[in-house]
Amino acid sequence: MPMTSPREAVLAVLRDAGEPIHWTVIQDRALRAGYLDPFEQPDVRRSVLRALRGLVAEGLVVKSETGVYTLA
């Protein structure tokens, strides 16, 4: 069953990773784990990037280099 939001999916993937990872890896892992359903989220890329921007603004996620994120 997919998670309720891309935000929750991003946080779950970053928690599981335990290290900085590129947003494309976050997206791939969220899809593979079933956290995101491409049929329910037609633009997965945009949803993941929007979630990451919001989480950075909230201080929950840190952008360590171009396209690479980790939990704060």
Quote the pLDDT of residue 42: 84
pLDDT, one tens digit per residue, over 16-69 is 999 999 999 999 999 999 999 998 888 999 999 999 999 999 999 999 999 999
Read off the pTM. Answer: 0.91
What's the fold here for domain 6-71?
Arc Repressor Mutant, subunit A (1.10.10)
Nearest to 70 by CA among 34, 28, 26: 26
What 3-state class would DSSP assign to 6?
helix
Quote the pLDDT of residue 59: 98
Domain residue ranges of the chain, discontinuous segments joined by +: 6-71
Q: Can you tell me the distance from the alpha carbon of 4 to that of 35, in angstroms, rounded to the nearest whole number?
A: 8
Q: Can you tell me the distance from the alpha carbon of 69 to that of 48, in angstroms, rounded to the nearest whole number?
A: 12
Q: What region does 43 belong to: left with phi over 0, alpha with psi -120 to 50, or beta?
A: beta
